Every structure is written in C-alpha cells, then in structure tokens.
C-alpha cells in the first residue's frame, strides 16, 4: 500500500492480494496495526506530504496530487483532520527547522 500512496487503491484489491475476504482483511489489519486499513493509508499519505512540505518548494496543489489526493481541498481537509493545522501552516512552522524537535509529534 505504501508503494501506491499516489494512486487510488481499493481495499478489496489489497484483500484479494492477501488471499483474504475484505472483512477478514480489515479485521486482521486492524487487529495487527491498531487502525483500519484505509485510515492507515490516509495517514501514510499525510506523512508523505509532510516530507514533501519540508524538503520541497512544490505548491500545495502539486503535493496534493503527488500524495494521491484528488485536489488541494481534499488534501487540506484530510491534513487538518490528521495534524490539526493546514499544510501551509505546518510548512511555515516546520520548514525552517526551528521546531524539528516536535516535527513528528504533529500527527
């Protein structure tokens, strides 16, 4: 799933690759990882976006697309739900390195 962060992914396809029914896959994944697979997938996209926000000067709309979000609005809404601040604010807060100590405590 991590290799396909920038594309659409259907959990039923992942379940089939694992040779499990969708319900069994979701239950096994949730019991093992602690969260549902799609929530994990969105969290992984947000973590990938954090890296791009810090290491690049790409516009937010481009980062949204590179992380598999349909548009900047979808990206911003998901980012805010996971990190409790907008991507632009997060970039301004952490890009200069002044707050690196707290960098990965944001989500």
Q: Residue 60 belongs to a domain with what CATH number?
A: 1.10.10.60
Residue 107 has what pLDDT? Answer: 44
Q: Kindly report the average pLDDT of the chain as a whole number.
A: 89
Does residue 101 have a pLDDT over 70? Answer: no
Q: Angle at the Cα of 76 (from 64 to 44), degrees rounded to 5?
A: 60
Does residue 99 have a pLDDT over 70? Answer: no
- Specify the number of domains making up the chain: 1
Q: 63 is in which domain, residue-wise? A: 2-106
Rounded distance between C-alpha atoms, residue 15 and residue 29, angstroms: 10
The pTM for the full model equals: 0.81
What is the tens place of the pLDDT at every residue in 44-60?
A: 999 999 999 999 999 99
Does residue 17 have a pLDDT over 70? Answer: yes
- Looking at beta carbons, which pairs linking 83-89 to residues 24 or more positions away fall under 8 Å? 83/46, 83/50, 83/107, 87/49, 87/53, 87/60, 87/63, 88/60
């Amino acid at each position: 799933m991590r290799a396909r962060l920038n594309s659409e992914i259907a959990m039923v396809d992942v379940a089939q690759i694992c040779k499990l029914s969708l319900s069994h896959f979701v239950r096994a994944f949730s019991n093992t990882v602690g969260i549902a697979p799609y929530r994990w997938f969105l969290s992984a996209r947000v973590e990938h976006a954090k890296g791009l926000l810090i290491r690049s000067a790409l516009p937010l709309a481009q980062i949204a697309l590179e992380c598999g979000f349909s548009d900047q609005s979808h990206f911003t809404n998901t980012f805010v739900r996971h990190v409790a601040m907008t991507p632009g604010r997060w970039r301004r807060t952490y890009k200069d390195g002044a707050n690196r100590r707290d960098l990965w405590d944001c989500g």
